[in-house]
Chains A and B, each alone.
Chain A
Amino acid sequence: MSLYALRDVRQVFEGRTVLDIEALELAAGGSYALLGPNGSGKTTLLHVLAFLRPPHHGEVRFQGRRVEWRDGALTALRRKVVLVDQHPIMFSTTVLKNVEYGLRMRGVSAPERRKTAEECLERVGMSAFAQRPAHLLSGGETQRVAIARAMACRPEVMLFDEPTASVDLENQAVIDGVIRELCREQGISIIFSTHKRLEAARLAEEKVFLFQGRLTGPGGENLLTCTIEQREQGAVCTVGNNVALPLRTDRSGLGRVFIKPDLIRLFPLDAGSKEADDQGHVGEVLQMTAEGSKIKVLVDIGVPLRGILSQEEARSLDVMVGEKVRVHIDPEALELAG
């Protein structure tokens, strides 16, 4: 069953498009990781999914029904979805009162409120802190209390913005455990943003990639926004942070370009290959995963790119994750989209 369906959703802040999603479907009961560098629109997307900020343009469907961005309707929707911020805000009262807050808003009776809140604090291991002033907790403790506070609302969907970005290892382990449990044992849909691929792999069944506000997600990871210029030696398209790639086209201006993963070729840094010398970029290998009989490589040359290697190619390349490689992108690999 579809949980969220987004169509042509755009978010514009001060004239700048920070989110531009043509289509995105998320299923109920799933666990999703939103991946992407800082400023790629993860938080903006989470605010849309939490019904906290209406998109500038486009349609959002939730549980098959079109979302109407009116105050009254939104309150009902928000009571099914809770967002836990990266730096959660604690109301200046006790931890227990903070955890009870959502239930109080829903008109739950005081004894029941207290019981649920105590259970939720127990689950995140913060029972001992119940009577402490919540606004004086450390970062990790705050995060755990915020999760308990969100859980207490008994939501259908829980959204997390970088849940472990600002906590130490010990707290991170606790938070990971709680999130996994929420999803697997209680069937709550989980969507969280992170910049840690490992965390995404551990906790999420599916990954959604965001780059500069656009989806570059499964299958379309190498879809990039670019600027095309006509120069003496031919067209050049610039992507990301000043990465120039040759391209065969007579267009110029803004566009989107798709880089075919199988035409990206990688060489060791010291190979001194003549092919690599003229059109080479240097990139860092971020990740290597097996995809059937092929090896998928995530390499960062200023923009993250996916390359597909055969097992043989991978073996001859002989690099580890974290090492530098020379990256050759054939002009044939680039294809203008839209």
Chain B
Amino acid sequence: MDFLAQSIIEALRMIWSLDPEMYFIVYVSLYVSFFSTIIASILGVPLGFLIAVKEFRGKRAVITILNTMLALPTVVIGLFVYAFLSRRGMLGHLGLLYTPKAIIIGQVILILPWVATFTMAAVSRIDERYRRTAQTLGANALQAALAVAREARFGILAAIIAAFGRVIAEIGIAMMLGGNIKGFTRTMTTAMALEHNKGEFVLAVALGLVLLAVSLIMNVALQLVQGKYGSNR
């Protein structure tokens, strides 16, 4: 107990003293997670939207595939993307392996199904009459779709926040594709794994506290959004 308390006190001192190494790691984590979430949202929100509102052949198959991908472990994604980006792989010549871009690619694959399926669920909950109302008021197909998306906005936002929470806390992809390079691709989670491996705890605990704080903020945001969403229905 004494040992844990001491580690936490040291960790708080480190956070308070704005330790540059620690904050750079936090920055890398936030940067990578932010961009993977943005890209996954740009792709996933319209995808989920289309699946929700359009009838097409193979729709069920697409939903099944997305649901399966929800359960994909990060290390599996890491392994597959590694095989593509490795010097021996198809995309090896791009030199992407062990860069933040590689982490972003893997993480986009990780959360794209999340964003898409949760968007789909959120849009499906919106009544067909919203679209009809928009249309009769003169909206064209795109404008009507935007009106429906607007009604589903809290659900979609919740999906995006949940996706961000997932990528910032994952380690498999960041370790396998980023390589945990100090000052370059070392994220909060890979740094914590390393510190534990080194038998050092202060930095790990400090990062753990930051990660906890980020998760807390994300969850509070999610609760607020869902609360608002709930009262609308």
Specify whether A and B are partners: yes
* A78–B138 touching, CB < 8 Å: yes
| A91-B147, A91-B150, A135-B232 known; A85-B133 Cβ under 8 A | yes
A83–B232 CA distance with the chains assembled, in angstroms: 24
Q: What's the A-B contact tally at a CB cutoff of 8 Å?
A: 58
Contacts of B133 in A (CB 8 A): 85, 88-89, 91
User: Residue B140 at the A interface, CB < 8 A?
Assistant: yes
User: Residue B2 at the A interface, CB < 8 A?
Assistant: no
**Interface positions of A from 229 to 246, Cβ below 8 Å from B:** none
A176–B230 CA distance with the chains assembled, in angstroms: 35
User: Residue B139 at the A interface, CB < 8 A?
Assistant: yes
* A105–B136 touching, CB < 8 Å: no
Contact of A79 among B138, B147, B232 (CB under 8 A): B138
Q: Count B-side interface residues using an 8 Å CB cutoff.
A: 18
**Interface positions of A from 64 to 84, Cβ below 8 Å from B:** 71-72, 75, 78-79, 81-83
* B136–A75 touching, CB < 8 Å: no
* A52–B132 touching, CB < 8 Å: yes
Q: Mark B131-145, 1 if CB is under 8 A from A, else 0.
A: 011111111110100
* B137–A150 touching, CB < 8 Å: yes
* B151–A153 touching, CB < 8 Å: no
Contact of B141 among A47, A71, A85, A106 (CB under 8 A): A71
| A89-B127, A92-B151, A135-B232 known; A102-B138 Cβ under 8 A | yes
Contacts of B198 in A (CB 8 A): none
**Interface positions of B from 109 to 132, Cβ below 8 Å from A:** 127, 129-130, 132
* A92–B141 touching, CB < 8 Å: no
* A92–B138 touching, CB < 8 Å: no
Tell me the A residues contacting B by CB distance below 8 Å: 47, 50, 52, 71-72, 75, 78-79, 81-83, 85, 88-89, 91-92, 101-102, 105-106, 135, 149-150, 153
Q: List 25 A-B contacts (CB under 8 A).
A: A52-B135, A72-B140, A75-B135, A75-B140, A78-B136, A78-B138, A81-B136, A82-B137, A82-B138, A88-B133, A89-B129, A89-B130, A91-B147, A91-B151, A92-B150, A101-B139, A101-B147, A102-B137, A102-B138, A105-B137, A105-B138, A105-B139, A105-B143, A135-B232, A153-B137
